[in-house]
Amino acid sequence: MIVLAISMFPPIATVSPLYLMIRSLGWRDTYLAPIFPYATFSLPLAIWILTIFFRELPDELTEAAKFDGCTPFQIFRRIFFPLAAPGVFTAVILIFILEKFSIFKF
């Protein structure tokens, strides 16, 4: 809920406080200045998309992998990482479109 509430906050209302924060941190004319707002405004969309996508993956896959002797890292690397690729690419494309037409033009 907090992530979605942050994403519904209008970005134009954060320009002045964001500038003051970047200036106080000494990030003016650095790469961190544009990375921070882009990550802040795109992360809620990515979390929302990927949460929905991972909920659709069946739990039986994890159980079957544990039964076959996989460690948690092997379960992620061999099963969930290949299955998550379409969801991750969808999130990347949508976030790219969001950021391409964003109000922040650094």
Least Cα distance to 106 among 22, 6, 25, 7 occurs for: 22
Would you kindly state where each structural domain of the chain is located, as residue ranges?
A: 2-100
Tell me the per-residue pLDDT of 51-97, one tens digit each, with 9 for 90 and over. 888 888 888 999 999 999 999 999 989 988 899 899 999 999 988 88
Tell me the per-residue pLDDT of 35-54, one tens digit each, with 9 for 90 and over. 888 887 788 888 888 888 88
How far is Cα 79 from Cα 69, in angstroms, rounded to an integer? 13
Q: Regarding predicted confidence, which is higher, 2 or 69?
A: 69
pTM here is: 0.66
- The C-alpha torsion from 53 through 58 and 63 to 69, rounded to 10°, is -60
